[in-house]
Amino acid sequence: MEMRTRLMVLAASLVAFNAALWSIPKIAPEAPGRWEGVQPAAPPTASASTTPPPPLPADFPSMERPPKISVADGEPQPIATKYGLTYEIPPGWQNRDSAVAGWDSNGETLAIYGSLGYYGRTDCAENGEHTELAWTGVTGRRDTDLDASALEEIEKARRIYSNADESASPTVTISGPKQITIDDRPAVRYTAVVEQIPDAEKECVSSTATMDVVTTPGYASAETALFVVFADRGKENALTDSDIDQILSTIRKS
């Protein structure tokens, strides 16, 4: 999956944007690529299918995107999500809590995340687009099987880091599941180590990266909340394992 950033500047109304989001294959690049946009108030929490998911159970709350949490400069930045859970990004990161980003592949939305945080974001001189040392995001799953949801997501690493036409793929090693707890509730973590990333130099990314996925029961909007951390490795100022552990350890009930 080509790692080019696809910045979508959408000045349409919220209704029009929701319609656009549901038809991402028409507005994203035909070749697999990453894109970004502004998060609608209620983005889809399942895969980008034309069939809407079943309604939430009657006793399960649904919520709009929470407002941005303001903190003093130099403080960790909490990002509240619509799933009733909050996580923190370190000081100095870009807080893009109202944005969404993901990948499109051959008319299929491979992954979509909201409540974003960016670290080490710069312009890539090679292709004129953005690149980051790391970024975080959140989505929801209408499934109560934490392990199955996490495993399905981590297995996307090979396609996410493949080249534009998926003719060349990286080497991916997946570890997990690791059983953890978040606020005394179960959680599952998987990690993918991605090596020999195709076209890394052209895309201004490292040839090695990691993808971490954590799933835990949601309190609202979806039965399972899914958190991701994408990180370039082996570059100056890259995140360490302990840095990623620290970010994931901040997940908590809002």
Lookup: tokens for 22: 């549901």
Percent of the chain scored above 90 by pLDDT? Answer: 59
Decide: 140 and 112 in contact? Cβ < 8 Å: no
Per the domain annotation, does 54 fall within a domain? no
pLDDT band at 42 (very low <50, low <70, confident <90, very high): very low
Per the domain annotation, does 67 fall within a domain? no
- pLDDT digit string, tens, across residues 85-142: 999 999 999 999 999 999 887 778 889 999 999 999 888 766 667 789 999 999 999 9
Per the domain annotation, does 47 fall within a domain? no
Of residues 122 and 243, the one with the higher pLDDT is: 243
Give the separation between CA 79 and CA 86, rounded to whole angstroms: 5
Decide: 100 and 112 in contact? Cβ < 8 Å: yes
Supply the pLDDT for residue 51.
64
Per the domain annotation, does 245 fall within a domain? yes
Lowest mean pLDDT of 15-29, 51-65, 158-172, 191-205, name the range.
15-29
Per the domain annotation, does 1 fall within a domain? no
Mean pLDDT (whole number) for 196-207 = 88
Number of structural domains found in the chain:
1
CATH code of the domain containing 86? 3.40.1000.10
Per the domain annotation, does 18 fall within a domain? yes
Supply the pLDDT for residue 106.
73
Of residues 134 and 13, the one with the higher pLDDT is: 134
192: enclosing H helix or E strand: strand 185-195
CA 128 remoteness from chain centre: 22
Per the domain annotation, does 202 fall within a domain? yes
Give me the helices (H) in the chain, please: 14-22, 24-27, 146-154, 157-160, 241-249
